[in-house]
Amino acid sequence: MSDECIGDGKVVTFHYTLTDDQGTQIESSVGQEPLVYLHGAGNIVTGLETALQDRVVGDRVEVIVPPEEGYGVRDERGVQTVARSQFPPDADLEPGTQFGVKGPDGQLYPCWVQQASDEQVTIDFNHPLAGENLHFAVTVEGIREASDEEKEHGHVHQPGHEHEH
């Protein structure tokens, strides 16, 4: 099935390098395991998912994803300062550490430590890449049809990659 192309319900394997507007590398899968995702399920940022539509194995895709189709625009109201005592004494509060805060609706919202002192901790609900243009260079490595169970769950099931449901 070498003529298979990327569309909804396909499991796609790809390598990527992500750089910012200055050309500085932010992340890369090169030299590590490629990324695997279920197309059409919102597993990856919208702008990249759109750019990969209809591509085939071996395609090299370069795309600049604006914040609106990436990790969102920055909202300064998302920056909050809370008392250090709200965290367990042994909590890792290094800048950049991610954790989840349960909202009134019971949903878990991701946030990141911006800075921490003995008295207070500044947390940021904006994704660290919010407000950034994302420059992706992607190579499509593999495409397969998702199983019914994967389609139902909206994510990929990989042997050896356990996940919670």
Residue closer to Zn ion, measured from CB, 84 or 151: 151
Query: Min. distance of Cβ 44 from Zn ion in angstroms?
Result: 17
Residue closer to Zn ion, measured from CB, 23 or 159: 159
Contact pick of 153, 156, 159, 164 for Zn ion (by CB under 5 A):
153
Residue closer to Zn ion, measured from CB, 74 or 153: 153
Query: Min. distance of Cβ 153 from Zn ion in angstroms?
Result: 3
Choose the stretch contacting Zn ion; rule: CB under 5 A; options: 79-87, 105-113, 129-137, 151-159. 151-159
Query: Min. distance of Cβ 40 from Zn ion in angstroms?
Result: 16
Residue whose C-alpha is closest to residue 35's, from 67, 7, 11: 11
Choose the stretch contacting Zn ion; rule: CB under 5 A; options: 18-26, 107-115, 117-125, 149-157. 149-157
Give CA–CA dist 110/88, Å, rounded.
Answer: 17
Please state whether beta strands 60-65 and 98-102 pair in parallel, antiparallel, or not at all (unpaired).
Answer: unpaired
Beta-bridge partner residues of 113: 123
By CB under 5 A, how many residues form the interface with Zn ion? 1
Residue closer to Zn ion, measured from CB, 144 or 153: 153
* Strand intervals (E) in 6-94: 10-19, 25-28, 35-38, 60-65, 79-83
Residue nearest to Zn ion (CB): 153
Give CA–CA dist 94/114, Å, rounded.
Answer: 8
Structure token digits, residue 52? 């990969």
Beta carbons within 8 Å of 109's beta carbon, 6+ residues apart: 100, 101, 102, 103, 125
Query: Min. distance of Cβ 34 from Zn ion in angstroms?
Result: 20
Q: Which helix (H) or strand (E) holds 50?
A: helix 46-52
Binding site for Zn ion (CB under 5 A): 153
